[in-house]
Structure 1
Amino acid sequence: MPRQGSRCFLVVRAQEWMCALPLEEVEETMRPLPVAPVAEAPFFVRGVCMVRGTPSPIVSLAALLGGALPTQASPGQRFIALRVPEGRLALEVDEVRGLRWLEEDTLESVPPLLRSTANGQLQHVGSLDGGLLAVLGSAHLLPEDLWRRLETSSSKVGGA
């Protein structure tokens, strides 16, 4: 049962990074769909695909966080459709680990996801989609020790 001062997050893995996405920003998780490349897109944009009839950019979370270029990495195993004011957008991740309740004071000690993309990618993210920038601004990286504690705790809400 969630405590006052906690929020629910969808925990995903992108290569070696464990990331917590605010559940209120997540529309759905899905298997990867066919992706069409887009010329002149930033390197972390895999391309565009049709998600429920809407053309949606596909962003490789691993590439955004500084991992291998999408052409060097194997495609992600799941898409996470996010609610953004500009329309639908999907993050490509390797794995969905489930829902977790995290207390706000715990989040203060966890690095924000955007801090990891600060090596020049933020400007590209903002120009691509201001809504994505806002969603990523409320997402967090989960250090390995915190992730191990979450795995052993009974705060698991369920798989996604």
Structure 2
Amino acid sequence: MPRQGSRCFLVVRAQEWMCALSLEDVEETMRPLPVAPVSAAPAFVRGVSLVRGTPAPVVNLAMLLGGGQTQASAGRRFVALRVPEGRLALEVDEVRGLRWMEEEGLDSVPPLLRATASGNLQHMGSFDGRLLAILGTSRLLPEELWARLENPSREGGA
């Protein structure tokens, strides 16, 4: 049974990264859906997909965290997240399950890593003897990308 001061996270794997997403932000997990590419988007944005009838940007988590050092590959699962702008699909390799964690037991992000993932690393911890990155999901994409990603048909003057 969870204790006061603990939160529930969905633990996912994206290549070598183990990440925790606050369960409050997670809508659902699903098989990957078709993705329409969007020109001039950052490398970690695969494009846009229709998730339950609503356009949602698709972010490859391994590319977001690994930057240019990570090979792009289609993930095996999507995790639909609630974000201030609406919905976002996070592409991951594996959904590991739920885990309760004590907030006071989580470490701060070292200063050198604070800029990683556009500042979305909130805490660091461990999971099954591996490094665990706790992500803040509210700003995974810069605001200026949202309008273009939500309506890819406007790309190229169409």
- TM-score with structure 1 length normalisation? 0.71
Write the distance in 2 (CA, Å) between the matches of 1:91 and 1:116: 21
**CA distance 1:35–1:117, shift in 2 (3 Å):** farther
Distance 1:137 1:97 in 2: 19
After superposition, the CA RMSD in angstroms is 2.6
Distance 1:44 1:62 in 2: 8
Aligned to 2:128: 148
Q: State how far apart, in whole Å, the 2-side matches of 1:147 and 1:37 are.
A: 34
| 1:62/1:68 contact within 8 Å kept | no
Alpha-carbon deviation of 1:86?
Answer: 1.1
Gaps of 5+ in 1: 123-132, 151-160
Query: Paired residue for 1:118, among 91, 115, 120?
Result: 115
Contact 1:43–1:63 at 8 Å: present in 2 too? yes
Look up the SS of the partner of 1:12 in the other structure. Answer: strand
Q: Structure 2: give runs of 5+ residues left out of the alignment.
A: 131-158
Relative to structure 1, the CA distance from residue 14 to residue 5 in structure 2 (aligned partners, 3 Å threshold; closer, same or farther) is same
TM-score normalized by the length of structure 2:
0.72
How many residues matched? Answer: 130
The Cα of 1:79 is off from its aligned counterpart by: 0.5
Percent of residue pairs identical = 69
| Kept after mapping to 1: 8 A contact 2:109/2:121 | no
What is the CA deviation profile of residues 88-108 of structure 1, one whole-angstrom value per residue up to 9, with x for unaligned ones? 11110000000000001112x
* Aligned position for 1:14: 14
- CA separation in 1, counterparts of 2:42 and 2:24? 27
Could you tell me which residue of structure 1 aligns to residue 92 of structure 2?
Answer: 93
Q: Report the CA distance between 1:49 and its aligned residue.
A: 0.6
CA distance in 2, matches of 1:116, 1:15: 18
Q: 1:32 to 1:58 in 2, by over 3 A?
A: same
Q: What is the letter of the counterpart of residue 23 of structure 1? A: L
In the TM superposition, residue 87 of structure 1 has moved relative to its aligned partner by: 1.3
Q: Which AA in structure 2 matches 1:111?
A: V
Equivalent residue number for residue 41 of structure 1: 41
Match for residue 60 of structure 1? 60
Give the deviation of 1:111 after TM superposition.
3.5
The CA deviation string for residues 56-75 of structure 1, in whole angstroms up to 9 with x for no partner, is 100011000015677x4321
The ranges of structure 1 where at least 4 consecutive aligned residues each deviate by more than 3 angstroms after the TM superposition are 67-70
CA distance in 2, matches of 1:24, 1:94: 21
